[in-house]
Structure 1
Amino acid sequence: MSSDPWGRVDETGTVYVRNADGTEREVGSWKAGSPDEALAYFKRKYDGLVVEIGLLERRVRTTDLSSKDAMTAIGHLRDQVTDAHAVGDLDALVKRLDKLVETVESRREERKAQKAKQTDEARHAKEALVAEAEELAGSEQWRAAGERLRALVDTWKGLPRLDRKSDDELWHRFSHARSAFSKRRKAHFAALDAQREEARKAKEKLVAEAQELQNSTDWGATAARYRELMTEWKAAGRAQREHEDDLWNRFRGAQDVFFAARGEVFAERDAEQSENLKLKEELAEEAEKLLPVGDLKAARSAFRSINERWEAIGHVPRDARPKVEGRMHAVERAIQDAEEAEWRRTNPEARARAAGLTGQLQAAVDKLKGQVEQARAQGNNAKADKLQRELDGRQALLDQALKGLEEFGG
């Protein structure tokens, strides 16, 4: 017979395991070798249980094994230990399993508390997002508010879900705020587009009348009517950008035809017109000091005052008029472009149009540069000077357009 602190083999080959209380339990029989070999075999069985329990303990400590799966694994090992055909301190293994149960229960409570904390934090975070979205719903900072709302959506998507009822209620408020903002923004830009379309129609009528009057020889009455048409033009507001330049060129072109003819008739007034030119050059210099536009409101008011004095002066010599008027028009366009830039910053659809206009202006500038060079080469300096003035005006517009386009990159 052979024995061990935790087991023995009797003379018949029956193998027993000893419990901590001194009792014994039969775990098998051994006929194939010596009693020592029998005990060694059943000890290896015990060692296998030790390894399995150790592995489970490690999984519980180091992985995200769920409490349910852990308890199932513990129960399975407990059954194996209870009925184990092994020799060793089985009671110690039971105690290790009991200890592991306590660990699993403790971790279950920790996870439960952690989940409750995360849920509470998610609830507060989503309530804050909803509050901000509802505040932004009334904003008129269309671009900034729209970008912020999109960022809030991304933040929302990264937060854990709450219970279905709470999550749905908060999402409904959040979605409603976004929809309200989008509806207001759409209505705002639709109204702006409608205003510009009305302005275009009004200016088309003004262009038509200006063209009907361009061949008139009733100098006084026609000149007075042209001044009235200019007042109506300014009161009409701005048309869509793609129409505004063409309308202005046609409108101003008709006036140029009339005033050019009148200027020829009134050639004897050259001295007076020369003095007018000096005054208008001074006003043009005063207007140019408004650039670059800083305070838009102040610049607009100052230019209006300058323009009123300009209109009161009268005409200048015909050959000098394009240059001096070009200077004033460049300032006026710079102010208009500053207004347009302010509007574009609130209009997400403007970027494509701005890019298109810049391309058109660049093409026009390139073309004019080629024409100037060709006129110079042909010795036609008068034509070259005229084209150079037109080029300067277009270059100023291009510079302003490029500046406005750069604002979209910020």
Structure 2
Amino acid sequence: MSSDPWGRVDETGTVYVRTADGEKVVGSWQAGSPEEALAYFERKYEGLVVEIGLLEKRVKTTDLSAKDAQTAVDHLREQVDAHHAVGDLDALRARLDKLVALVETRREERKAQRAKQSDEARGAKEALVAEAEELARSDQWRAAGERLRSLVDTWKGLPRLDRKSDDELWHRFSHARSAFSKRRKQHFAQLDAQREEARRTKERLVAEAEALSNSTDWGPTAARYRDLMSEWKAAGRAQREHEDDLWNRFRGAQDVFFAARSSVFAERDAEQAENLKLKEELAGEAEKLLPVTDLKAARAAFRAVNERWEAVGHVPRDARPKVEGRMHAVERALQEAEEAEWRRTNPEARARAEGLTGQLQAAVDKLRSQIEQARAQGNDARADKLARELEGRQALLDQALKGLHEFGG
């Protein structure tokens, strides 16, 4: 027979659980030892503990309905009362009793919450009505219109009140929107008159722009065109059927002037283009110095090319980085060649390279000797391990020999 504080298994394989009301039969176990029987039904108990814990968490932290919570409690209580588990079942019943009380508390809380939400919805709708009535007097047509549309969407998202209250508030809300729409229509009627005034103003601006189109007084005329553009923008829009035609005439007059100015500036651009061609040729001449074979001669030749480069005038701004970059690349290559020459002739660096090479060669020779010895002794595992180490040392030696070669060794 086997037992624990909450249950036991008798000699017939019957499993009992201890409760406040005495022992209760859990079930019969014939498949294994008594210890296995108790362990099985203890796991069943732990499962109930987990399920009750999860339900407690759902009741406390989610919007689980009181009805669904009570159903879940009843289901778990049936399992506990069935006594098919070994553990403190009385404690589980106590937890379920507390859950029932908590569910009832939550039910009352939600009832109060619904009442509160109804009051809040009433307050929210009254606030929407008050804002709509305020907006109905606004002259900010676009912003107020968009805000009123937003208020409608907000209204639709709120809960309904009792029918009488909801209808009264909606009537006021709708009336405010209608009042705003009426005032907006009156405003746009006035706007039509303003557009006619804008048309007359723009006719005058077009006439002046066309008169200036053949001017050769480049600076002042360009400045006046900027002023005319500011006046154009300040005039507002004319009627749609006139706006595009007036704009095309206004813009066309400016295009005539700026095209003529561009023609004059083209001569300057042609000179810079020729300078670019010369600099590209000099860059190509410098690039022929690479790769560097005679550093002293290459450096002298580059100085000569660079002196001619400095004598050439400006090039177009957008082409400058590329062509200058080509010369800078040659200059960097010459600097790198000088640095490489210095490293090659540096006796301290050469001595360090020779020392490292000698150490690595000795290590490689030693490893080879150890491998031969291990093979002769039949210790293939050690020989293979040493062979892998030899591969790494040989790679380092090859790299060191390559570096030594750069010093001419």
So what's the TM-score if we normalise by structure 2? Answer: 0.47
Higher radius of gyration, 1 or 2: 2
Instruction: Compare relative contact order (CA 8 Å, sep 6+) and give the higher one, 1 or 2.
Output: 1
